[in-house]
A and B are shown apart, each in its own frame.
Chain A
Amino acid sequence: LAKTTQPISMDSYEGQEVNITCSHNNIATNDYITWYQQFPSQGPRFIIQGYKTKVTNEVASLFIPADRKSSTLSLPRVSLSDTAVYYCLVGDTGGFKTIFGAGTRLFVKA
């Protein structure tokens, strides 16, 4: 299983774009990159998943360079409610063992 490295914490202000980068140097050919968001006292919630290039949905964008050794989660115009922990995971979606790291604590200030 590929190990991921993320910043421990980040601060931002409301309305700004936030980019959280995750390193996964040992990513395998079959691995996808998945991001989850977790609020205190709740289970994680899926945000976005991608394999290569760029993926965008209604809440975020995921940028993956050609070598796939890193990925960047982009949150446009964050609000106070985006304050949460964000986890980057790498693995085969057909596999069953999921490894969460410590995540990145994003704190959005007014």
Chain B
Amino acid sequence: DTGVSQDPRHKITKRGQNVTFRCDPISEHNRLYWYRQTLGQGPEFLTYFQNEAQLEKSRLLSDRFSAERPKGSFSTLEIQRTEQGDSAMYLCASTGLAGRGEQFFGPGTRLTVL
């Protein structure tokens, strides 16, 4: 296992379209996080899964955003009716229950909404 992977790495879409991103965490990790990061800012927490259960959602996650982790393994983040303000880097991270809570981040998906 080489770490957290995300797909696609880049996505360009037109305003109003739906997009879906995928995150594959480190295989033995049962905690998975999604973040959004805009230029010059730190990552902003969006949502968190423990196994398949979504335990927390940020108020940043509007009704147009939905995340799933159906079998407690990979996760998807969907944005419906994209807006230009959704343009950002979307980061996924995972961690195990044991240990220090160190989060392992993927390379991110850069979304550009035209």
| A residues at B contact (CB < 8 Å) | 32, 34, 36, 41-46, 49, 85, 87, 91-103
Interface size range of chain B in the complex: 20 to 34
Q: Which residues of B contact A44 (CB under 8 A)?
A: 43, 91, 93, 103, 105
Structural contact, B91 and A96, CB atoms closer than 8 A = no
Q: Name A95's closest neighbour in chain B (CB-CB).
A: B101
Asked if B21 lies at the interface with its beta carbon under 8 angstroms from chain A, I say: no
Structural contact, A96 and B55, CB atoms closer than 8 A = yes
Q: Supply 15 A–B pairs (Cβ within 8 Å), ascending by A.
A: A32-B100, A34-B102, A41-B89, A41-B107, A41-B108, A42-B105, A42-B107, A43-B93, A44-B43, A49-B101, A87-B42, A91-B101, A96-B55, A98-B45, A101-B42
Q: Which residues of B contact A41 (CB under 8 A)?
A: 89, 107-108, 110
